[in-house]
Amino acid sequence: MNHKRREQSMDAERSGVRVTRDLDFPRQRVFDMLTDPKKGAVSWSPEGAVSLVFELDRRPGGTLRIHDRDQEGNVHKTSGTVVEIVVPERLVVKTATTLATGTAPWEALQTVLFEELSPSRTRVTVLVQVLATGSFPGGVESLEEGFQGGWGEVLEKLRRALQ
């Protein structure tokens, strides 16, 4: 890992959002379920949302695209770039989300860590650092609450998908 990426990961750990779940599944399986382009769509959208597009190019500089439709029918589009990927330990992506209104009110650095607790148990820790809030009402605090709840839902969906 280069020095700049290590600093970004450390900054995310010091501030922002942290969501952790322990899952009773092997680390490689958990990593694949969240990062495989054919399997990831099951988990990456919040509860109640329908995944329309999930694309992840699993290499540094690769792209991430997620389109979800919420319960009200609004489509939210997330795009990003893979900053770092270490199979099966870590995924770091820089993302921006565009709402149905066409505005892109925020950017975030999202780090997903996969820690092997045993051969059949994995701790997933998500660290989110809000980089820009743009036109998002409520600012950083509101975004952090949204990421906290959203990633909590994603990790619970991941747990169910693994079963």
For 3-162, CATH number out of 3.40.50.300, 3.40.50.720, 3.40.50.2000, 3.30.530.20 equals 3.30.530.20
Convert 72-101 into a string of H (helix), E (strand) and C (coil): CCCEEEEEEEEEEEECCCEEEEEEEEECCC
**Residue 1 in this model has a pLDDT that exceeds 50:** no
Cα–Cα distance list, 76 to 40, 53, 113, 144, 163 (Å): 17, 10, 25, 17, 28
Contact 127, 110 (CB under 8 A): yes
pTM: 0.85
Encode pLDDT of 45-88 as tens digits.
Answer: 878 888 899 999 999 999 999 998 989 998 888 899 999 999 99
Residue 98's φ and ψ, nearest 5 degrees, are -110, 125
